[in-house]
Amino acid sequence: MLKPAFCLRKQWTIALKIKKLLGNNSNSVPPKELETLIGTVPHTQEGLSRKDIISASIRSISENASDFFVAPLFYFIFLGVPGAFAYRAINTLDSMIGYHGQYEYLGKFAARLDDAANLVPARLTALLFVIGAFILRQNPKRALRSALADHARTTSPNAGWPMAVMAGAIGISLEKANCYTIGKPLHPLSDTDLSVAVRLYKASMFIWAGVCIAIAWI
């Protein structure tokens, strides 16, 4: 009954598929895969560099860790199956109309509701990434410093937390053109960083799954 409320594998599967495509010396990624990770993509990818695609993929799996896995299970723990599906409905509504447009006033309500619903899960996701960074020896101290320094750079009050931890743990900078730059790069962004991000995502989410199973068992 709970499975439709969360998603674990899809994000890392597509991220690794994008890495494989980039590994074939191609700067072009099928729009379907790119849109699944990034959200909306331009009609042409000519304006997206290899670095842009890698950055967008890492940003996406970082933020979606909260939206699609940590948050639904968080609300399941406290409110049961109805809580998990209520969160999924709020998050879906925000993704559909939570932006400037025809339904702006309703969209603002959806966006604010989503911000409130993700207040704790986003920060919990950041903490899980710090723990994952410790386990994978990816510099958890730098990850934590990055979160404290850069979490407020995004327009969302929540999205910056997991992204900043991910950037700090790997030692990279995540940039969304004309919007924000998170993290202080220790090396140029590369395909390898996408693999590291996926490993960190897996480790952290499996930790969270274990915690949830333990709580449910008690």
For 35-61, how does the pLDDT look when each residue is reduced to its tens digit (9 = 90+)?
Answer: 665 655 544 455 578 888 899 999 999
The percentage of residues in the chain with a pLDDT greater than 70, rounded to a whole number, is 82
pLDDT value, residue 35: 66
Asked if residue 213 belongs to a domain, the reply is yes
Asked if residue 142 belongs to a domain, the reply is yes
- Taking the C-alpha atoms of residue 190 and residue 149, their distance in angstroms, rounded to an integer, is 23
Q: Is the pLDDT of residue 209 over 60?
A: yes
Mean pLDDT in residue range 93-111: 63
Q: Is the pLDDT of residue 92 over 80?
A: yes
Asked if residue 87 belongs to a domain, the reply is no
Q: Is the pLDDT of residue 159 over 60?
A: yes
- Taking the C-alpha atoms of residue 160 and residue 39, their distance in angstroms, rounded to an integer, is 17
The percentage of residues in the chain with a pLDDT greater than 90, rounded to a whole number, is 59
User: Higher confidence at residue 101 or residue 68?
Assistant: 68
pLDDT value, residue 42: 47
Contacts for 114-119 with beta carbons within 8 Å, 24 or more apart? 114/90, 115/156, 115/157, 115/158, 117/71, 117/75, 117/87, 117/90, 117/91, 118/66, 118/67, 118/71, 118/91, 118/158, 119/157, 119/158
Asked if residue 173 belongs to a domain, the reply is yes
Is the distance from CB of 161 to CB of 123 less than 8 angstroms?
yes
Q: Is the pLDDT of residue 114 over 50?
A: yes
Q: How many domains does the chain have?
A: 1
Q: Is the pLDDT of residue 137 over 80?
A: yes
Average pLDDT, the chain: 86
User: Higher confidence at residue 43 or residue 115?
Assistant: 115
CA distances from 87 to 6, 56, 110 (A): 10, 24, 12
pLDDT value, residue 50: 84
Asked if residue 132 belongs to a domain, the reply is yes
Asked if residue 185 belongs to a domain, the reply is yes
The type of residue at 93 is L
Q: Is the pLDDT of residue 84 over 50?
A: yes
Residues spanned by the domain of 134: 8-26+48-70+118-217
Mean pLDDT in residue range 142-161: 96
pLDDT value, residue 47: 58
Asked if residue 99 belongs to a domain, the reply is no
Is the distance from CB of 68 to CB of 39 less than 8 angstroms?
no
Asked if residue 21 belongs to a domain, the reply is yes
- Other Cβ atoms less than 10 A from the Cβ of 47: the count is 9
With cut-offs at 50, 70 and 90, classify the pLDDT of residue 147. very high
With cut-offs at 50, 70 and 90, classify the pLDDT of residue 201. very high
For residue 96, list its beta bridge partners. none
